[in-house]
Amino acid sequence: MIIFSGSQSKKLAEGVSAQDDLEPGVVEVRQFPDSEFYVRILSGVRGKSCGVIQSMPDPNNNLVEMLLILGGLRDCGAKNITAVVPYLAYARQDKKFKEGEAVSARTILGILDEFSDRIITVNSHFLDNAGRFKPYGIELENLDAFPLVAEYFRDKLKNPVVIAPDKGAVGYAKNAARIIDCDFDYLEKTRISDDKVEMSIKNLDVGGKDALILDDMISTGGTIIEAARLLRRKGAGSVSAGCVHGLFTKGLERFRGEVDEIACTDTLETGVSKVGVGELIARAIPY
């Protein structure tokens, strides 16, 4: 199988293609002065299985670039094509809450499905569990990298407790706690007013413990920082934070002094991408 990469996931694609029987592909990608992409497939792909790896933190550019690579592979006669989108953009809106809203997850998956034979994601935001799903009738395999994040922190914390930042993430915390062999809990949010939310720990006493806050993604980081401050007020000995997808849209500097360590996977390339998912993808991608 030949592994290609969009410009966003070159290091990850190198890690995947370094696995046995996976060959790195060569593609030329550049942009014209008006920002349009030019794509040319340089590897011979006729009759061969191909995979394209591209996360989408810059949703519009990353998506268009990937679609052009997928289309190029199809035009060059690839036998079958797997679209690997470790971080899938537009996944937040997976249902209609108000009349007239676009269901972005369905639209983006539909476009990817049109240009590929199979779609693989990692901890997609609108799916709670790993496995094979058919959202909107589209076949999708969602890989779970949370165990890898838990393994990373397991030997770093002496007296650990895993904390989910809200009830929606408690399943991830429970699974991570099983791997680390510790207790887990989640934070409850109570709205005081339109612009004020109060956080509280549901059950556990975190006094003297090494608290690990886990979520599927960290975007601005506001919730993580608020949670870290609460845990310190409650006597936590240390506070660390981990996630699968580290967007960090307001930068990493704001976490300095708030958490003792922060780590994410390399689904997105950041300064704290300390957990590799290359082997996880490599096991799933071959036909």
User: Hey, which residues are catalytic here?
Assistant: 189
What are 82's strand-pairing partners?
Answer: 51, 118
In what order do the strands lie in the sheet containing 196-201? 196-201, 183-193, 160-164, 210-218, 238-246, 261-265, 273-275
Q: Do the beta carbons of residue 48 and residue 286 sit within 8 Å? A: no
Q: Do the beta carbons of residue 230 and residue 187 sit within 8 Å? A: yes
Q: φ and ψ at 41, to 5 degrees? A: -80, 120
Apex 254 CA angle, 251 and 255, nearest 5: 105
Q: φ and ψ at 100, to 5 degrees? A: 95, -5
Nearest-angstrom CA–CA distance, 87 and 124: 7
Pairing of strands 238-246, 2-5: unpaired
What are 190's strand-pairing partners?
Answer: 198
Apex 29 CA angle, 24 and 34, nearest 5: 165
Nearest of 122, 118, 88, 120 to residue 106 by alpha carbon: 88
